[in-house]
Each structure stands twice: as C-alpha cells, then as structure tokens.
Amino acid sequence: MIKTDILIIGAGPTGLFTVFEAGLLKLKCHLIDALPQAGGQCSEIYPKKPIYDIPAYPEILAGDLTHKLLEQCKQFEPGFTLGERAETIDKQKDGTFIVTTSKGTKHHAPVVAIAGGLGSFEPRKPLIDNLVEYEDKGVEYIIKEPEFYRNKKVVIAGGGDSALDWSIFLSDVASEVTLIHRRNEFRGHLDSVEKVQELKNDGKINLITPAEVIGVEGNGKIEAITVKQDAKTFTKQCDHFIPLFGLSPKLGPIADWGLEIEKNAIKVNNALDYQTNIPGIYAIGDVNTYPGKLKLILCGFHEATLMCQSAYQIINPSKKYVLKYTTVSGVDGFDGTRKEAPKAVVKKIE
Amino acid sequence: MEQDINIKITDRDGVTHEVLAPTDMAMNLMEVVRSYELAPEGTIGICGGMAMCASCQCYVLSDTELPEMQDDEEAMLSEAFYVKDNSRLGCQIQMTPEMEGLEVELAPES
C-alpha cells in the first residue's frame, strides 16, 4: 500500500504544481496517471507546441513546461504510479481514502486531489467489426513490452509519430514489420519519416500505402488482417495487429465515484477551496467546473494553491498556519536541499 | 450585428440548430459549436483547435466556399474515423462574412 498525504490523480501541469504547493506546507504527494509519462496533454498531445499565456513566459513549449514543473517539484520527492488508471475509491471509517488502479496498486491518503484534465487517455479504436474479439489475442492498442513481439509478424496501422516510432523500433525485434496508412504522407518528425523510408528501402519495413485495414480474422487468436488498397482487397498473415490512431480522453471510472458531474466535469465549491461534494476529495484544473470556469493551465495553478491550504487543515486540524513567502522563508526540500534568498550585504561606506 | 452570419449546425443527435456566428471575434466553427453548447464539453475541441484530435470533425452540407485544407488538417483527417469526402475539421474553419448560409453536420464522436 502506497501512503501519502495528498493523492493526486493526473500528472499534468496542475497535478505537478500541486506537489510544489503541498511541499511548501510539508505535505507529501503521490501522483497516479494512466499515461506512461508525466505532463498530461502537454506531453501526450502537443509537446512541441508553444503556449503563450503562462505568466512570465512570453512563450514556452508544452514539453518544456512539463520539464520545468517536474524540476520545480523534484525537491518534494513526489511518488508516481504511471501507466495505471485510477479505478475505484473507498472511503475508510476514519475519513481517509483508498484508491485502487487498473493494475490493482493501492494508495492510501487523507486527501485526494483529482487533477485529471479531460480524463484518462484511452486508445482510439478503428471501426473494424470484430476487432474487439481479438483484443489481447493479437490486437493491442498500446505497446507495453517490445520484447513481446520478438520474432513475430507485426502489422502497425496509423500515420503519426507513434506508428512511425514503433515501426522503426520493432523492425529490429519482430521477424516482419508492416506499416499500413491511409495516405502516402505521414504526420511525424522528419527524422522518423526519413528513417522509415530508409528501412523500407532496405527491406526491413514493409510499407503499404495508401491502404486501410478493414478486417481481422483468426481462430481464438488473430491470424490475418484484410487490407483494402485502391480497388483491391487482400489478406495478410500476421501474429499481431497494432492500430495506433492516437488517444482520446475519457472521464472514465471517476464518473462513478459519486461526485457531482456537470458538463463532463466535476462540480466544486469555487468560493472556498475546490472541494467536491465528497469532503476530502478536491477537483482542480480542467477536470472541474464552477460558474465562470476557464480551462487554462494558469487557472489550474491557482486552484491547486488554494486547494493545498484547505487540504492542510484536513490533515492538520489543530495546527495553526500562516501563508509564507518563498522569498522570505526559502524552500526546504524533503530531499534535504534548501533554497533561500541570499542575505543582503550590509557594509559601511567610509 | 452586421458582422454576424447565419449558419446551420446539425448536432450528433440529428437536431439542426440555426445560429448566429460572429465573424469579428477570430472564432472558428468548433468554437461556435462550443459557444452554443451543441456538443457536450470534453467531446469536441479536445486538443483546443490544433488539428490534432479530430473531435471537431464535421460534414459540410452546403456548397459554401471554405478555406483550402492545409497539410495538418488533411493529415489528421487521414487518421480519423467516419471520414467522408465532405469532412472538415471545424477548428480549421475561421468564420468569415462569406460563409453566410453555411450548413454542417457534426461527425460522430470517436
């Protein structure tokens, strides 16, 4: 059982900044995210896109913002459960919570902060009739363990970075890699496109474009796919079919936690502390809603800060506290580091 | 307002809405749909309007002249589902006075 003070669901910008604000109050955080890396949408959807409305940054790439937030909160040693989706929440008799993930990892905390953005990212599945029948029987939407594909015949479908990157990577692992895309053009980093071209020329990647996978067949396990290219249709043998058409966020199991939901978001008390209808559970950032709500990263930062002050009172009901300024008090990391403003020089002028 | 144009948007339940869209607010079609709440939050404009998610895909029903498709929109549509010949991404269509009478239908959520 992982124990922490504030359990944060969602490791996007709002969740990461919560770690910092909680750290100033000597509260420890642990984050759960369905994605295998921190950063949320910023790292998953648009890491190379600039953001222009982060205060004091005239321009910052979404990926760089993630790195800076991780750097800023590092001294407070956050724990991470990545690649697992928060599934259930159980309120204990003492008012604390146990949150269990899709892989059964249990987390125990007196306060839960949902910073889940638009929800957890789920793979977008192509519209092939019996595809679902073969899920985990040769059809996978996410590559978790590349070794799984050693000496197998793999078909990847898609035209973005993940389809390109995995085709390149698996060309060294699988016995045969086929990449199928609806167009001849690919939407990805130039390096990746050029590498796939090179591997195709060397006969290491079998490229079928413009074409589409329209069917899967097998016997308890996938054995072949049906490909439509121009007017002709043909069958291709394979051991694995991996459609990589990106991810789309879904509120998912959080919707069943007994929280008040409005417009696909969690209702919170914005006059006070962003607490939900369940005391001890907060919702901050894009996942919440209240009159006048704006889904902006900078609003998430503000909400995280106020929420931490309220969480402090739940965790330390009888302790007095007054807001401190980092410039005055410095920052004491849980890792033993200390940051502080240099003392002013006082010297006499003769 | 004289800058406003009349457009028709058919939502995902098949209901057609006649709405006034401003052309002086740098709004795109996806944002017009959101401003009138014609699709639930979180099901449209997920990427914010960067042609990176296709959640604002729509079918253009009128023969209104629209801005030419750029590479990123074309690439995204080539990976989207339920794509038809008249598919466009709403976020890539900026509202202009010339679009008076535009008629679109939202593509299914995917």
- In this predicted structure, what is the pLDDT of residue B1? 56
Task: For residue B45, give the 3-state DSSP assignment.
Answer: coil
Q: Which pLDDT value is given to residue A302?
A: 97
pLDDT at A174: 96
How many Cβ atoms sit within 10 Å of the Cβ of residue B8?
A: 15
Query: Does residue B2 surpass a pLDDT of 70?
Result: no
Q: Is the pLDDT confidence value at A121 over 90?
A: no
Mean pLDDT over B1-19 rounds to 92
What is the model's pLDDT at position A44?
A: 87
B76 neighbourhood in chain A, CB within 8 Å: 187
What residues of chain B lie within 8 A of the CB of A182, using their CB?
78-79
* CATH code for residues A2-121+248-339: 3.50.50.60
Query: Which 8-state DSSP code applies to residue B79?
Result: T
Q: Residue window 49-108, chain B: list those with CB within 8 Å of chain A.
A: 50, 52-53, 55, 71-72, 74-76, 78-79, 81-82
d(CA A83, CA A99) in angstroms, rounded, equals 15
Interface of A with B in 279-308 (CB under 8 A): 289
For A54-80, what is each residue's pLDDT tens digit? 999 999 999 999 999 999 999 999 999
- Find the CB nearest B75 among A46, A124, A187: A187
Q: Which residues of A touch B110 (CB under 8 A)?
A: 124, 127, 248
Query: ipTM, 2 decimals?
Result: 0.79
Q: What global pTM score does this model have?
A: 0.85
Question: How many other CB atoms are there within 10 angstroms of residue A299's CB atom?
Answer: 17
Residue A330 has pLDDT above 80, yes or no: yes
Residue-wise pLDDT tens digits, B13-50: 999 999 999 999 889 999 999 999 999 988 999 888 98
CATH of the domain at B18: 3.10.20.30
In this structure, the strands spanning A240-243 and A232-237 are: unpaired
What confidence category does residue A247 fall into, taking pLDDT thresholds of 50, 70 and 90? confident
Give the fold, CATH level 3, of A125-245.
FAD/NAD(P)-binding domain (3.50.50)
- Which of A121, A124, A262 is the best mutation test for B, with the most CBs of B within 10 A? A124
Separation of alpha carbons A300 and A13, rounded Å: 8
For chain B, what is the domain count?
1
What is the residue extent of each domain of chain A? 2-121+248-339, 125-245
In sequence order, what are the beta bridge partners of A281? A112
Q: What is the pLDDT of residue A343?
A: 85
Q: A289 to chain B: which residues are within 8 Å by CB?
A: 41
- Chain A residue closest to B54 (CA)? A248
Give chain A as a 3 state SS string: CEECCEEEECCCHHHHHHHHHHHHCCCCEEEEECCCCCCCHHHHCCCCCEECCECCECCEEHHHHHHHHHHHHHHHCCEEEECCCEEEEEECCCCCEEEEECCCCEEEECEEEECCCCCEEEECCCCCCCHHHHECCCECCCCCCHHHHCCCEEEEECCCHHHHHHHHHHCCCCCEEEEECCCCCCCCCHHHHHHHHHHHHCCCCEEECCEEEEEEEECCCEEEEEEEECCEEEEEECCEEEECCCEEEECHHHHHCCCCEECCEEECECCCCCECCCCCEEECHHHEECCCCCCCHHHHHHHHHHHHHHHHHHHCCCCCCCCCCHHHHCEECCCCCEECCCCCCCCCCC
Residue range of the domain that includes B80 = 5-106
Closest approach of chain B CAs to the CA of A245, in angstroms?
A: 6
Q: Compute the Cα dihedral for A97, A101, A106, A112 and give only its sign.
A: negative
Locate the chain B residue with the closest alpha carbon to A182.
Answer: B78
A37-41, A244-248, A286-290: the lowest-pLDDT one: A244-248
